[in-house]
């Protein structure tokens, strides 16, 4: 699959929630798009990622 433009090979299907947690993302500070559609946070555990998916992850940062 492609994540933010970088190819990441998947050996098996995984959930979006598992991918985000495994890679250290703060679930409260990201927005995720899979194959051009914004994914509601409440459905991260229901989304199965496969090798052909394109994922965009945006981090929110605070500042002033």
Q: What is the largest CA-CA distance in the chain?
A: 42
* pLDDT tens-place string over residues 35-55: 999 999 999 999 999 999 999
The dihedral formed by the CA atoms of 7, 47, 10 and 18, expressed in degrees to the nearest 10: 100
Q: What is the pTM of this model?
A: 0.90
Neighbours of 28 (CB within 10 A): 7
Q: Are 33 and 53 in contact (CB under 8 A)?
A: no
Query: What pLDDT is recorded for position 64?
Result: 63
- Name residue, tokens 């194959």: 35
The domain covering 2-59 belongs, at the CATH homologous superfamily level, to Beta-grasp domain (3.10.20.30)
């Amino acid at each position: 699959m492609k994540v933010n433009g970088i190819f990441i090979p998947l050996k098996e299907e995984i959930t979006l929630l598992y991918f985000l947690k495994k890679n250290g993302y703060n679930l409260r500070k990201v927005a995720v798009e899979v194959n051009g559609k914004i994914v509601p946070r409440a459905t991260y555990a229901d989304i199965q990622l496969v090798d052909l998916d394109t994922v965009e992850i945006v981090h929110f940062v605070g500042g002033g």
